[in-house]
Amino acid sequence: MPTRRTSRLTIAATLVAAAAVALSGCSSSGTATSTPAASAASAISADRCATNKAAGTITYITGFQYQASASILDILAAKQLGYFDALCLDVEIQPGTGDTAGNAQLVAAGTATITDLGGDADLLLAQSNGVNVTGIATYGQVPITTLMTGTSITDLKQLEGTTLGQKGQLPPEINAMLVANGVDVAKINQVVVGYDPTILPRGQVQSLTGYKSNEPLTLKADGDDVKLWNPEDYDIPGTFGTVAANPAFVSANKTATEDFLRAAFHAYTYCETNASECVGYAAALAGGGASYDVDHNVEVWQTETGLVKSSQPAGTPLGSLNTDLMAKEISFLVDSKQLSTAPDVTAFTDPSIVSAIYNGTELIWPAP
């Protein structure tokens, strides 16, 4: 979910400095002294360490560059804080372009190991298109997509005959919301647009898809008044921050897969109260400078973690796959003709990964 300013893909020298600061103050026992960083192999048994090392390099592709989203920022922070090292994991992070469907294809092919998708619906649609990946976690249990219009729009049917801007495809939750409101989607002129939301108040499009944690924040900061049409207000289910992995890797490397999420969720908790520090790591990876909007990304992170917290079912830990919610998503995808049949989700999801790293709702850290 890109910010209004794209990030440079080169890793500047500031990354080295940031990593050095992050890894300073480590203790041999794996507990933090002046910083929360962990020493290499300090939180794991020798046998588990050997098993994780044998898994080889885990290549993680972000959903979009180094944006401070849930399922991206916490993984960047886990790398910089030494949490992956503490679990003997060799993690390589590559910035994605925003093409999450393409990322899923890379993971299915084994070119990459793990990526974050837009949500469970994207996982379902990937499977229906023959892209074989395994869903191992989901962060947010509410749609993060939104449809923005001018304040003069009071009925979605008014969008028929107008132009809608989207990022390559109409998000399934938005499509379902339009259909549920009696809109003939074929009568809307859809165009692919970039990541500048000001095209909406300028009148270049009459509606624009986006993310609650991104474009509305930009428009609000610019003083533009727009109306948000949210799928959940029309009983359209949704999720965000779905983590997908290569099925063969998961099958052969259960402990490494578990510990990847363990380190990510450990960093997530830290970043909840240290947002600026964690965003600083992302900024360093992006090369620093004016091209990375730090303040905006802090807002992105705080908005998304707020959505994760407010949507988390009681008594369940972060990352849990919600089979009941997924069943509802399947139903709306079938009803809106985005899926032809209801798939067997047990064939491409593995809830045991998350359950193995928690004691109830408490993350087990360090690893057993």
Look at residue 83 in the predicted model and tell me its pLDDT: 96
Map residue 82 onto helix, strand or coil.
coil
Q: At a CB cut-off of 8 Å and minimum separation 6, what does 304 contact? A: 69, 70, 139, 140, 144, 213, 240, 241
The lowest-confidence range among 17-21, 118-122, 254-258, 286-290 is 17-21
The lowest-confidence range among 65-69, 229-233, 251-255, 328-332 is 328-332
Looking at residues 44-51, what average pLDDT do you find?
94
* pTM of the predicted protein model: 0.85
Domain(s) of CATH 3.40.190.10: residues in the chain = 13-142+240-363, 145-234
The lowest-confidence range among 70-74, 169-173, 239-243, 293-297 is 169-173
Map residue 70 onto helix, strand or coil.
coil
The lowest-confidence range among 4-8, 114-118, 142-146, 210-214 is 4-8
| CATH architecture of the domain with range 145-234 | 3-Layer(aba) Sandwich (3.40)
Nearest to 176 by CA among 126, 238, 226, 227: 238
Looking up tokens 């399947």 gives 330
Look at residue 18 in the predicted model and tell me its pLDDT: 37
Give φ, ψ of 3 to 5 degrees.
Answer: -80, 175
Look at residue 10 in the predicted model and tell me its pLDDT: 32
**CATH of range 13-142+240-363; options 3.60.90.10, 3.20.20.150, 3.40.190.10, 3.40.50.1980:** 3.40.190.10
Cα 57 to Cα 65, 92, 103, 110, 114, distances in angstroms: 20, 7, 17, 12, 11
Nearest to 115 by CA among 59, 55, 56, 53: 59
Look at residue 38 in the predicted model and tell me its pLDDT: 64
Query: Percent of the chain beyond pLDDT 70?
Result: 89
